Structure 1
Amino acid sequence: MNEMRIGVVLGSGHGTAGTTGALVDDLVARVRAHGAASTPGVELNVDTVVVEDLGLGQSCPACLSCMTAGEQACPSYDRAAPARQLMDAADLVVFATPVHSFQVSAAMKRFVDHFAYLIHRPAYVGKPAVLLSTAAGGGHDAALGYLRTAVRRWGFHTVGQLGVNGPGLRRPAYRGRVDAALDELAGTVLAAPTAGEPRPTTADLIGFRVARLLVEGGREDGPVDAAYWNERGWFDADWFSDATVPFLPNRIAATVEKRIRAGIEQGSAKPYRG
């Protein structure tokens, strides 16, 4: 690889000037340093989209046009296009968000909502992602867990994540541990694009089959989804790609799919009560 492209999706209201932006800069600087030392001659290009600059509005209108008529029908399609172009071109994407009230920021949630069609039509199978978060307190587990689940549904596989306490960076001991984690993560970033796609987990395989059920059940309302799956042969596959599908997890996923399908057909599905 003579060139590596890193795309950054930054969900901070402070843009690149905030703590989250600074954490991204720290990681990129280390990736450059590791790359210069281990793989000289490789050109590193970094493109960043600040979500707030896209002008996506107060929230996704939930009109479902992206599902039923294609993403081009989304009222915010043109405004969201720079982010889609960034993710398309990148060899690895960094999703970075501050933690707000124990979750991702409103800006990052709005970003995820505007790409909801990717849950039905995954476009990034095999592409690695890194997740970053900063917080004044806690909440990294919920924020990073949500991001990990969301981008996995789009096809990304997360190769590394890091949550950092902003005020703690003023303490030398904590700062040192963060620096060590960033150094380790930088090595992961460099290796990820050529490392290949990992084998899907049981949860991944169940997610694949549930997505297929949704697409099958919505053929009339969402022919765009069905056409997408048809073109890729996914209706007759066990996974989105030719990655090795482990036998036992696949059998478990098939059993879960059978039960869900029976519940839908028999009308025995129940509302969630916790």
Structure 2
Amino acid sequence: MRVGVVLGTGHGEKGTTGMVVDALIVRMRERVEIEVDVICTDDLVLGPSCPACLACMTAGEQACPNADNASPARELMDAADLVIFATAVHSFTLSATMKRFVDHFAYLIHRPRYFGTPAILVSTAAGAGHDAALGYLTTAIRRWGFHTAGQLGVNGPGLAKAPYRAKVDRALDELAATAVRAVHDGGEPAPTTSDLIGFRVARLLVESGRSDGPVDAAYWDERGWFEADWFTGAKVGRVRNAVAALVERRIRTGIENGSAKPYTG
């Protein structure tokens, strides 16, 4: 089994997040032989933020000014049977370095490729914020094709307390078993209603952007996605699909008529 690790923390493998991931890897190795590739997002040198030039979507990912620097992470994800995305929690959400990483792969929302590859999500914090950080990552990587097999949020200072550490150890044991099982069992889970809505919204975006750049549309044309209900052959529930179709029609009508409302909370 080949495992890729994307470590979104400025402290690298020596920090709390890295140590929790290492403890998970140790437990996975007790169950199966694995190769591990690790990328620390700070080492990718992606600049202070994504330039938001949209070149990755209109001209292809190679047109990104940071394409060469981002390529090691792309190669890691391409080669992995399972990817562990790990982030420190900063100000109640994921770290800036992990957000920068996600932003640089925004084209994968338009051209997803990792269907059938499970992901494990890990966060560490001094306080709260696991729900926001892990929730965001779950949504983001699902748009890239990954499906989250398991997740764990750990309180860093709490690890010094024996009762809490024992609970974390048990959670890591369970998560390691879940990760190995996810790869062994294989397959792609049936899409949720949210997944199906995401598919249809992505299709709208690609359709509307066809004249701006052919890359996204060509990718969808090659895979027959414009005529499909979902990206893969996974079973699509009829009720869920009907709900997604209704949402799509409302969004499409709002766009065409200019009647879409701004978000006000």
TM-score by length of 1: 0.95
Deviation at 1:34, TM superposition (A): 2.2
| Aligned counterparts of 1:28 and 1:121: Cα–Cα separation in 2 | 30
Could you list the runs of 5+ residues in structure 1 that have no partner in the other structure? 36-42
Q: Which residue of 1 aligns with 2:175?
A: 185
Where structure 2 has 5 or more consecutive residues not aligned to the other structure, the ranges are none
Q: In structure 1, what is the Cα distance between the partners aligned to 2:119 and 2:212?
A: 32
1:168 maps to a residue whose letter is: G
1:140-183: per-residue Cα shift (whole Å, max 9, x none)?
00000111111011010000000000000011111011000000
| CA–CA separation in structure 2 for the residues paired with 1:205 and 1:270 | 22
Q: 1:240 aligns with which of 215, 231, 250?
A: 231
Work out which of the residue numbers 6, 11, 14 in structure 2 matches 1:9: 6
CA distance in 1, matches of 2:146, 2:39: 18
**Residue 52 (structure 2) pairs with residue 62 (structure 1):** yes
Describe the superposition over 1:191-219 as per-residue Cα deviations: whole angstroms up to 9, x where unpaired.
11232111000000000000000100110
Aligned to 1:120: 110
Moved over 6 A (4+): none
d(CA) in 2 for partners of 1:270 and 1:248?
Answer: 26
The count of corresponding residues between Structure 1 and Structure 2 is 264
Q: Is the 8 A contact 1:215 1:222 kept in 2?
A: no
Q: d(CA) in 2 for partners of 1:217 and 1:237? A: 17
In 2: Cα distance, 1:64 partner to 1:261 partner: 22
Q: For 2:87 and 2:111, locate their aligned partners in 1 and report how far apart those are by CA, in whole Å.
A: 24
SS of equivalent to 2:31:
helix
User: Who is 2:30 aligned against?
Assistant: 33
Does residue 160 (structure 1) correspond to residue 150 (structure 2)? The answer is yes
1:82 matched residue in structure 2: 72
Shift of the 247–194 alpha-carbon distance from structure 1 to 2, 3 Å rule, reads farther
For 1:187 and 1:246, how far apart are their aligned partners in 2? Answer: 29
Residue identity opposite 1:201 in structure 2: T
> Alpha-carbon deviation of 1:222?
2.7
Identity of aligned residues (%): 71
Can you list the C-alpha shifts for 1:103-151, whole angstroms capped at 9, x where unaligned? Answer: 1111000000000000110011121101000000110000001111110
| Paired amino acid for 1:28 | I
Partner of 2:86: 96
For 1:50 and 1:99, the matched residues in 2 are separated by 15
2:115 counterpart of 1:131: no
Mapped partners of 1:107, 1:206: distance in 2: 29
